[in-house]
Amino acid sequence: MKMLEEARGKWVGSLNEVVIGATKQQGGTRTSTVTVGGEKTLPFLAYEGPTKNRPVVAMEIWDREPEDWPNSLMEALGDAVKSPAEWAKKCVEEFCAEMLCLHLMGTHPDFGNASPQSAAAVVKSVLAATGVPLIIWGCDHDETDNEVLPRCSEAAKGEKCLIGAVKEDNYKTLVSFCLADGHSLIGLSPIDINIAKQVNILVSEMGFPLDRMVMYPTTGALGYGLEYVYSIQERSRVAALGGDKMMSMPVICMVGQESWRTKEAKASAEEAAGWGDENTRGVFWEIATATALLQAGSDIMVMRHPAAMTAIKNVINKLVK
């Protein structure tokens, strides 16, 4: 006991609690909500204190059928990927996703250039098909996102979605709409703790509540800068526990996106002889990446493969227990 007492951190701060989703009683149509953050200790150190709100696993869906995802991933998802609403429904009803992350890749000028009206219609269809909280992610093309995401924000008004991402040099438009429509925001930074803090400061200076912000410090996959990402997230958590209010936001990680773009995950058996079964190699890569980022202090894990999502849920249960 004396050793535990000596090892216990003397923290003065805590992470903000962010609530995503709104039930009928709260003005929305969701059948459940998700609360992340609120921790007053480093991740999963039970002798320092309990995990107030366990990390949440979301499944990533697109507004269009992906064309370059590996066969092992596409086979696990099935034909539902041809329809965003059916894809969303399958993730919730069959794979038991707690949240969904709708990636509006089809609005990108190089991947379909879908209109803002079309994107808003997809958002409405996904909300109608499911009852879980929704993350709405743009196409990462600033000019397009500034046209598309405001329309999606309006389409989902009252649902308390998590929308992103805002950046150091592109935030004012989306902040204004999310402030008006009651959504939470994702602040993106390029694995730089100072820029992450600056984004939070800029957004808060527009009057946006800190308890409606989530940080995305950019995610690396196993073998692709994961150690550096881990160190940045860990420093962010320590800063928050030390009392820095501008670093006290929960963290979201696009685990599936980063894991499945690595050659180890997506290479076919012919391209990677001796690397192991191509049907499980990518799944293990995603699981390993997510497990490390959980330990670093991530609160929302956005996954792609249903088997990886199930495995990470089990990991979270064991860590919390």
Tokens of 7: 């090892």
Residuewise pLDDT in 10s, the chain (321 residues): 555 555 566 799 999 999 999 999 999 999 999 999 999 999 999 888 889 999 999 999 999 999 989 999 999 999 999 999 999 999 999 999 999 999 999 999 999 999 999 999 999 999 999 999 999 999 999 999 999 999 999 999 999 999 999 999 999 999 999 999 999 999 999 989 999 999 999 999 999 999 999 999 998 899 888 999 999 999 999 999 999 999 999 999 999 999 999 999 988 878 877 888 888 999 999 999 999 999 999 999 999 999 999 999 999 999 998
In angstroms, the first-to-last Cα distance of the chain is: 20
Given a contact cutoff of 8 angstroms between Cβ atoms, the answer to whether 131 and 123 are in contact is: no
pTM: predicted TM-score of the whole model, two decimal places = 0.95
Q: Which CATH number fits domain 53-260+304-320: 3.30.360.10, 3.40.50.720, 3.40.50.300, 3.20.20.20?
A: 3.20.20.20
Given a contact cutoff of 8 angstroms between Cβ atoms, the answer to whether 187 and 165 are in contact is: yes
Q: Which residues pair with 103 in a beta bridge?
A: 62, 137
Evaluate the CA torsion angle 264, 220, 134, 93 in order and state its sign: positive
Evaluate the CA torsion angle 192, 197, 200, 202 in order and state its sign: negative
Domain segments of the chain as ranges: 53-260+304-320
